[in-house]
Amino acid sequence: MNAYAILAQLLELATALVMAPILVGWVNQCRAWMQNRSAPPLLQTYYTLNKLFHKEVLLAHNASSLFHSAPYIIFSCMALAAAIVPTLSTDLIFSPAADAIALVGLFALARVFIALAGMDVGTAFGTLGARREMLIGFLAEPALLMVFFTASLISQSTSLSTIVETLAHKEIAIYPSLAFAGVAFTMVSLAENARVPVDNPTTHLELTMIHEAMILEYSGRHLALIEWAAALKLFAYSCLGIALFFPFGIPEASDPLSLTLAAIILVVKLAIGGFLLALIETLSAKMRIFRAPEFLGTAFLLAVLAMLVHLLLRA
């Protein structure tokens, strides 16, 4: 096995673990600046995680073993998802397993466990959040699959590495289908990461929260792992959007020079993406939960339209 491929895979995993909290801090900073508020420190997420890891874990008396193990499973799924998305190189040891459908399966597995953990203790808020989370997932996953299938039709493969290599290293071409798929992917990303307009990660209003409702009973290191997993999920979706729609700068090689240049380009792309995410959240208003099916239904229709455009126009 290529030693450089192992190095690239380890570096990609380490980059995800380190950069995910920073990305969340950057988005929060940009949103505060746009709203004329005092911005929190860039490393505020690290400070929060450090505080939570040093706090005592308090558990409900009727919490089962599933409630104990769910944070570790969710964190592992998100770390693996971030590791298989090609961001620094397409020459990775996980490349044979980095399939688009497998990636959707990882997201779904994490969703199932966080929903089960939310219902495990039996609180009203946890059950409410779990039901809403499964509704969002039920509507978002088909749209995400259609986005992947559009890219797969262009590259003739569902392998993420093959898709990136095809889109990044072939002759310059304009794909109208990817424009529709990009809009659909953005809408799905907002919903999957509990961002405005579908959810608000900073609110604790009982009638509107989705993600926060499921983790109200967690504390200490368990809550830290879930918060870190949420940051990893945002990082994975951001890198996935970069890999599918802005793949330039992702090399096929995994030598140190290529990895260094790819890491610099990735930081620039994430900074721009975080700024745009903060801009979308600032310009948008939180919609009613009953409008979420319309929002994600539109994303699904756009993704299907992207497939039809490619099949009919070969573009």
Instruction: Give me the DSSP letters along 96-162.
Output: GG-BHHHHHHHHHHHHHHHHHHHHHS--HHHHHHHHHHHHHHHHHHHHHHHHHHHHHHHHT--BHHH
Peptide bond into 142 cis (omega under 30): no
Report the C-alpha gap between 133 and 112 in whole angstroms: 9
Residue 5: pLDDT band by 50, 70, 90 thresholds?
confident
Residue 10: pLDDT band by 50, 70, 90 thresholds?
very high
pLDDT tens by residue, 89-139: 888 888 887 899 999 999 999 999 999 999 999 888 899 899 999 999 999
Q: Is the pLDDT of residue 43 over 70?
A: yes
Q: How far is CA 96 from its chain centroid?
A: 21
pLDDT at 205: 64
What phi and psi values does residue 81 have, to the nearest 5 degrees?
-60, -45
pLDDT tens by residue, 194-203: 898 898 877 7
Query: If you average pLDDT over every residue of the chain, what do you get?
Result: 91
Long-range contacts of 201-206 (CB under 8 A, 24+ apart): 201/230, 203/286, 206/125, 206/128
Q: Is the pLDDT of residue 311 over 80?
A: yes
Average the pLDDT over 289-299 and give the result: 92
pLDDT at 171: 66
Range of weakest confidence among 2-11, 30-39, 240-249: 2-11
Report the C-alpha gap between 266 and 253 in whole angstroms: 16
Residue 185: pLDDT band by 50, 70, 90 thresholds?
very high
